[in-house]
A and B are shown apart, each in its own frame.
Chain A
Amino acid sequence: MSRAKINIAILESSSIVFEGIVSLLSKTDSNYNYYHCNSIEALNHYCFKHKIDIAIVNPLLLVNIQDDFNRFRREHSDIYLLGIVYSVFDRATLDIFDEIIQITDKTGDVIAKLHNGKGSKKESINIREELTAREIDILVQLLKGLSNKEIAEELNISIHTVISHRKNIVEKTGIKSLPGLTIYAISKKIIPPGY
C-alpha cells in the first residue's frame, strides 16, 4: 500500500455504468477513491475539495454546457480526462478528452487507458518526499510570516514560482497549516527549536 490513493471523479448519470466502472477498477492493483457526480457543478466541487486526479466524463452530459466544461478543463488542466462514450459524438466534442473509453472496450483496455494517465505527475511527486533547497528557502520565508509577494521580492523570483513551490511543499509534506509546517521545519532542523 505504498502507493498513494488516486481520486477519480465520475460524471455519469447511470448508476449501473458508475458501479460497473468502480467494480472493474477495484480489481486492479491501484488504490482509487471514487466520487460520483451528477453535474458539472458537483464535479467542480469535488475537484476543489478532494484533489481529483482523474475525471471520467460522459459527453452526453456536456450537451449545451460545452462552455462550462471548457472552463472546467482550463481550470483543472492537470486532471487526466477520460470520456466514457456509448453513443455517437462529433470529433470536436471528443477532442477535449485525453483518452476515450468505449462502452464496448475490453476490461484490459479500459484499465490500460486509465493507467496511461495515472500519470507521471502525481506518482513522481509521491516518490520523493524531501524538499529541495529552493523549497526550503521558500518554507523559511513563509514561516517568517512573509506573503507570497514578499517572498517573491526577497528571493527575486516570480509570484507564480512561489505559489508553485508552496504547492509542492504541501504535497510533499502533507501539511497545509503554518503551525503544522513550523513543527515540520523544527523536526527536520530547518529552523531552530523555539522559533
Chain B
Amino acid sequence: MYLTNRAYIKPDMKMSDLIVENPRLLILLEHFNLDFVVSDKTVSLLCDENSIPLQLFLLFGNLYNGYQPEVSHIGSPEDIKTIIMFLRNSHIYYKEEKYPEILSYIKQIQDKTHNSEIKLIENFFKDYFTEVLEHLDYEETIAFPYIVNLVEQKGKQVNSDFSANEYREHHTDIETKLTDLKNLLLKHIKISNELPLRRKLFLSLFELGFDLQLHAMIEESILLPIVADIESTMRNE
C-alpha cells in the first residue's frame, strides 16, 4: 500500500473540501461526467443525484488520493458499465487533451531553441503515443465490447480475441516508455533556456503518466478480477 497524507474518502465528506485538498480529483469527476461545481454536497449525495454507484466512486476516489484498491463488493452490471464509461472518458482525455498539449509544448520548445535533441524527443513521444493509441483501440474494440457482452448475456458463451495477459503486457510497455521520457528530460537532455515551457511539458507528461497509471490499476486490480469472476461463474453454470 502506497501511503499519503490525503484523506481517505468517506460518504459523508464534502466533495468541495476533498477537491481543495487534492485538485487531481477534478479529473476523476470529469471521467465520471461530473461538473466540479459541487456546492456543499457530500460524496454520497453527489453520487446519488448522478446515479453513480457510491462504493465505486469511493474506490476510485481513494485511488486518486493515493490508496491502493481494497477488496470490495464492486461487480454489479451497473458498476461494470460505470467503470467502462469512466475508462472511455479517460481515453478522450488522453487523446484529445493530453496528446495535443504535450506535442504543442515540444514543438514550442523546438521552435524557440532549435535543439536537435528535442526533435528526437518529439519522435520518441509520437512513437510512444502510437503505442498508447493501439492499446486504447484494443480496449475500445476488443476488451470493452467483450466485457459488456459478458455482462449482458450472462450464461452464454462469448467468443472474442480478448486476453487478460495481453492487456497487462501493454500496460508495462506503456509505463516503461513514459518513465524513460521523464528521465531523459529530467536527467540527461540539456536544453538551455525556456525553463517555463519545459516545466509545463514535464508537468503535462506527469499528469498523463499519473492518470495512465491509475487507468492501468483500475483495469488490472478492479476490472480484470471482476471479469475473471464472471467467466468462472459462467464455466460452472
Contacts and interface: CB of A to CB of B under 8 A. Distances in A.
A183 B121 contact: yes
B190 A187 contact: yes
A193 B176 contact: no
Contacts of A129: 187
B183 A34 contact: no
B180 interface: yes
A184 interface: yes
A26 B4 CA distance: 11
Nearest to A36: B1
A173 B188 contact: yes
Interface residues of B, number: 21
Interface in A162-195: 173-177, 179-180, 182-184, 186-188, 193
Looking at B3, B183, B189, the one whose CB has the most chain A CB atoms below 10 A away is B3
B1 A176 contact: no
A193 B68 CA distance: 43
Given A34-B1, A34-B3, A36-B1, A186 B117 contact: yes
A64 B1 CA distance: 26
B124 interface: yes
A186 B3 CA distance: 38
B130 to A, nearest CB: 12
Nearest to B183: A174
Interface in A76-123: none
A179 B2 contact: no
A22 interface: yes
Contacts of B177: 177, 179-180
Nearest to B187: A174
Given A22-B3, A187-B188, A187-B189, A175 B116 contact: no
Interface string B113-144: 00011001100100100000000000000000
A39 interface: no
B183 A183 contact: no
B179 interface: yes
B228 to A, nearest CB: 15
Looking at B124, B176, B179, B180, the one whose CB has the most chain A CB atoms below 10 A away is B180
Given A22-B3, A187-B117, A193-B116, 11 more contacts: A26-B3, A173-B183, A173-B188, A174-B179, A176-B176, A179-B127, A179-B180, A180-B183, A182-B120, A183-B121, A183-B184
Interface of B: 1-3, 68, 116-117, 120-121, 124, 127, 176-177, 179-181, 183-184, 187-190
Interface of A: 18, 22, 26, 33-36, 129, 173-177, 179-180, 182-184, 186-188, 193
19 contacts: A18-B1, A22-B3, A33-B2, A34-B2, A34-B3, A35-B1, A173-B187, A173-B188, A174-B183, A176-B180, A179-B124, A179-B127, A180-B124, A180-B177, A180-B180, A180-B181, A186-B117, A187-B188, A187-B190
